[in-house]
Structure 1
Amino acid sequence: MGKVRNILAIKGNAVFSVEPETTVYNALEQMVEKNLGALLVEDKGKFVGIFTERDYARKVILRGKSSRETQIREIMSEHPATVTPDTTIEDCMKLMTSRYIRHLPVMEEGKLVGLISIGDVVKYIIDEQKFIIENLEHYITGH
């Protein structure tokens, strides 16, 4: 099975982040603009957490907070699970499933190098299985 680095090679290593002082509203605008479900949170270049759509729904709306006044630091998920480029896709699936999470920051030597989502993982698995099936069909039929 593949590794996180295989997903990043296809998807790219773009890391979109906000600072802890950013308002939730401004972070949401960035998420909409870039069509993202999560933003990484960096404080002076250091990775400190993740802000997801789920954080917004559960920690702002349902608690009656204002997204224009609330800072990301108040609602971000601190110390999220992370993976490395050498983590297997299978291990990512296990981690995401067991912890009910949809996004995994990718760290290498203490630095953020990417972010993968459950969608990226599922797409990779589907493409890999399709490739295997096509090769088996070619082998069986001799084409």
Structure 2
Amino acid sequence: MTTTVQQVLEQKGAVTHAVTPDATVIEALALMAERDIGAVLVLQGEQMVGIFTERDYARKVALKGLSSKDSRIKDLMTPNVCTITPSHTIDEVMSIMTQNRFRHLPVVDHGRICGIVTIGDVVKSVIAEHEATIQQLSSYIAGDIST
């Protein structure tokens, strides 16, 4: 059985956290630290205009010696965000993440943001699938017909 993004969101929840393009980097970092997350969506009203990640901070702020309290998200975010839908499979998501070196993918359904899937979510899902397969094979080998 292949797990879908919808199933992952049902387990983890669909909560997303966002800042505006005019927010400062320090505001975004504070939100990320408070929520223990690695990325925030950048929303202009209801419209997603970008994503700001720990990687953006490390490469575009810290390494360049910019000020976190003076720098604006709109100048440092990743625009043109790659998104996935609830019907994507975890295998497809893993492929997209690997090919593009993404760790966070917003989930959009008919223009509405309905969650975010992280590399951690993908790994957890793959491990759960493998454990289920191992359990089924173990039951089969042991002769447990009820499985």
TM-score band w.r.t. shorter chain: over 0.9
Structure 2 Cα separation of the partners of residues 142 and 22 of structure 1: 60
Give the length in aligned residue pairs: 143
1:53-132 aligned within 5 A:
53-132=54-133
RMSD (Å) for aligned C-alpha atoms:
0.7
Unmatched tracts of structure 2, length 5 or more = none
Cα displacement (A) at 1:42: 0.5
Identical columns (%):
44
Q: Secondary structure at the match of 1:39?
A: strand
Q: Secondary structure at the match of 2:63?
A: helix
Structure 1 Cα separation of the partners of residues 19 and 55 of structure 2: 17
Provide the TM-score with structure 2 as the length reference: 0.95
Q: Secondary structure at the match of 1:116?
A: strand
Structure 1 Cα separation of the partners of residues 94 and 84 of structure 2: 11
Structure 1 Cα separation of the partners of residues 92 and 39 of structure 2: 21
Provide the TM-score with structure 1 as the length reference: 0.97
Q: What's the counterpart of residue 27 of structure 2?
A: 26
Cα displacement (A) at 1:58: 0.5
Letter in 1 for 2:136: N
Unmatched tracts of structure 1, length 5 or more = none
Q: Secondary structure at the match of 1:70?
A: coil
Letter in 1 for 2:69: R
Q: Secondary structure at the match of 1:60?
A: helix
Q: What's the counterpart of residue 5 of structure 1?
A: 6
